[in-house]
């Protein structure tokens, strides 16, 4: 009885599988992906010149005893636009405290709300929202410098007709 040469083919297939699995693992780890370790300690990795290096630690969520101090809660403010008027005309805010502004358009035409000169965690050019009649939108930012800053409607003629207000930022 003669034996067919399948042993070599099976061995080649098995070797190809092992090499491709190793390449996939290498590619995933190079991209920053980590496979679950099931709580087992990670072995030290070998560096490029044969020096053992410690594998990066996996970040764990802080326990209640280690919890970080709570971030400042956002100030909630509301600005209502009617045709050619903002209510209220003045807002108060604090440096470093987030502010969430709800902008409601109760007018019959479209209005916007923008803070063109405020010093904040976002560029002033991005601090604009637009609301169609009956629409409510929100805008969030954190003031970074004290001062008095204007907020306006930039639709032509609206600011001049009275659609402006002031946000006073204090320490």
Q: What is the 3-state secondary structure (H, E, C) of 70-108?
A: CCCCCEEEEEEEECCEEECCEEEEECCCCEEEEEEECCC
Look at residue 18 in the predicted model and tell me its pLDDT. Answer: 53
In this predicted model, what pLDDT tens digit does every residue of 134-170 receive, in sequence order? 999 999 999 999 999 999 999 999 999 999 999 999 9
- Nearest Cα to Cα of residue 135 among 99, 89, 102, 88: 102
- What pTM does this model have? 0.59
Instruction: Collect the ranges in the chain with pLDDT lower than 70.
Output: 1-71
Nearest to 170 by CA among 146, 142, 145, 148: 146
Closest listed residue to residue 100, CA positions, set 123, 72, 119: 72
Beta bridge partners of 49: none
Q: Which tokens hold the place of 52?
A: 């053992």
For position 8, what pLDDT does the model report? 60
């Amino acid at each position: 009885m003669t034996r067919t040469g399948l042993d070599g083919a099976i061995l080649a297939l098995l070797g190809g599988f092992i090499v491709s699995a190793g390449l996939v693992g290498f590619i995933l780890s190079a991209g920053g992906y980590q496979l679950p370790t099931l709580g087992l300690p990670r072995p030290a990795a070998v560096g490029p010149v044969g020096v053992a290096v410690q594998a990066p630690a996996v970040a764990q969520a802080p326990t209640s005893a280690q919890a970080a101090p709570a971030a400042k809660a956002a100030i909630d403010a509301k600005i209502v636009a009617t045709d050619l008027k903002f209510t209220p005309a003045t807002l108060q805010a604090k440096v470093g405290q987030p502010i969430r502004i709800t902008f409601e358009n109760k007018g019959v035409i479209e209005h916007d709300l923008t803070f063109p000169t405020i010093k904040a965690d976002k560029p002033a050019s991005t601090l604009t929202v637009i609301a169609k009649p009956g629409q409510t939108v929100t805008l969030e930012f954190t003031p970074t410098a004290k001062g008095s800053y204007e907020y306006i409607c930039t639709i032509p003629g609206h600011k001049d007709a009275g659609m402006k207000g002031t946000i006073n930022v204090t320490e």
